[in-house]
Each structure stands twice: as structure tokens, then as C-alpha cells.
């Protein structure tokens, strides 16, 4: 079965950096777009960043643009989210997800992703 496992979360002070990783198994990783979402307590899950199947196209929510970078290494079946200049508002559980369209471009709607990881907690303190 398909599994997505996130890692790299933790506690960091404002202004610090973290790199999240998502290791995939059970699918042909290099043919699907991938995305990162986050969910803070009491809030809806929101799109953070997306990347096309081949890594040539990326998309970011406004609050992440300029601070976060999504990338992938298809030979390792891994997608990353580099997060710099972290702010307390970035505190959330971060999830990686695989899209449903082979050879797809980055996509934002939650319902367009069909496989999800368990999430990794990111906490940014003041």
C-alpha cells in the first residue's frame, strides 16, 4: 500500500530553519505531483507548497513564498520542504500528500490529493 512518512519537525525559535522530509513508498513516486499542507489548532488544513511530477514547477501560498522551498529527489522517492525565517504563525502539523494525476502540475485543492502522510509537528517559539 502507499505510505508517506514525514520527518524533520521540531521546536525552533523564531527566525530559525527546519527541513522537512517525506519518504514515499508503494507508488511510482516520479510520476505524481506532491504537496505540503499544514493545519494549526482550530484552523482548516491549508496548502503550503506544491511541486510538479518532475520538479520543474513549484507553487507556494503567499505566506510561504520567499521563505519556504519545496524540492524533490525522485530517485530517493523523497520530497522536501525547506523552511527559513520561521515565525510563530508557522506553528502547525505539516503533512505531505501525493496528487491523483500522473505527470501533473502543482495543484492546491485538498481534494486533488489522494495519499497523505501522518504529519510532523512544527512549533515556532517567540
The pLDDT tens digits for 96-124 are: 999 999 999 999 999 999 999 999 999 99
The pLDDT tens digits for 58-96 are: 999 999 999 999 999 999 999 999 999 999 999 999 999
CA-to-CA separations, 1 to 23, 24, 25, 30, in angstroms, rounded: 14, 10, 8, 17
Is the CB of residue 48 less than 8 Å from the CB of residue 61?
A: yes
pLDDT of residue 88: 98
pLDDT of residue 82: 98
Nine cell digits for residue 58: 513549484
Is the CB of residue 22 less than 8 Å from the CB of residue 5?
A: yes
Amino acid at each position: 500500500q502507499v505510505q508517506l512518512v514525514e520527518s524533520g519537525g521540531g521546536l525552533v525559535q523564531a527566525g530559525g530553519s527546519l527541513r522537512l522530509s517525506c519518504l514515499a513508498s508503494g507508488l511510482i513516486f516520479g510520476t505524481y505531483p506532491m504537496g505540503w499542507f499544514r493545519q494549526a489548532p482550530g484552523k482548516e488544513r491549508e496548502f503550503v507548497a506544491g511541486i510538479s511530477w518532475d520538479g520543474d514547477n513549484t507553487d507556494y501560498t503567499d505566506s510561504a513564498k520567499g521563505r519556504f522551498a519545496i524540492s524533490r529527489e525522485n530517485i530517493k522517492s523523497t520530497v522536501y520542504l525547506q523552511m527559513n525565517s520561521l515565525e510563530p504563525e508557522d506553528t502547525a502539523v505539516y503533512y505531505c500528500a501525493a496528487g491523483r494525476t500522473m505527470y501533473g502540475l502543482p495543484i492546491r485543492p485538498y481534494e486533488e490529493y489522494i495519499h497523505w502522510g501522518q504529519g510532523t509537528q512544527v512549533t515556532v517559539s517567540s
